[in-house]
Chains A and B, each alone.
Chain A
Amino acid sequence: GDSVTQMEGPVTLSEEAFLTINCTYTATGYPSLFWYVQYPGEGLQLLLKATKADDKGSNKGFEATYRKETTSFHLEKGSVQVSDSAVYFCALGNTGTASKLTFGTGTRLQVTL
Chain B
Amino acid sequence: NAGVMQNPRHLVRRRGQEARLRCSPMKGHSHVYWYRQLPEEGLKFMVYLQKENIIDESGMPKERFSAEFPKEGPSILRIQQVVRGDSAAYFCASSRGTEAKNIQYFGAGTRLSVL
A residues apposed to B, CB below 8 Å = 4, 32, 36, 41-46, 49, 51, 89, 93, 95, 97-106
Q: CB-CB < 8 A to A46: which residues of B?
A: 103-105
Contact A102 B45 (CB under 8 A): yes
In the bound complex, how far is the Cα of B110 from the Cα of A41, in angstroms? 10
Q: How many residues of B contact A (CB 8 A)?
A: 28
With an 8 A cutoff between CB atoms, is B44 at the interface?
yes
Contact A100 B48 (CB under 8 A): yes
With an 8 A cutoff between CB atoms, is B1 at the interface?
no
Q: CB-CB < 8 A to B40: which residues of A?
A: 105
The answer, among A43, A104, A105, for a CB contact under 8 Å with B108, is A43
Nearest 7 interchain pairs by C-beta: A103-B42, A100-B45, A99-B48, A98-B98, A43-B106, A44-B106, A43-B108
With an 8 A cutoff between CB atoms, is B100 at the interface?
yes
B16 to chain A, nearest CB (A): 28
Residue of B nearest to A49 (CB): B103
Residue of A nearest to B91 (CB): A43
Residue of A nearest to B92 (CB): A43
In the bound complex, how far is the Cα of B48 from the Cα of A98, in angstroms? 10
Contact A103 B103 (CB under 8 A): no
Residue of A nearest to B50 (CB): A99
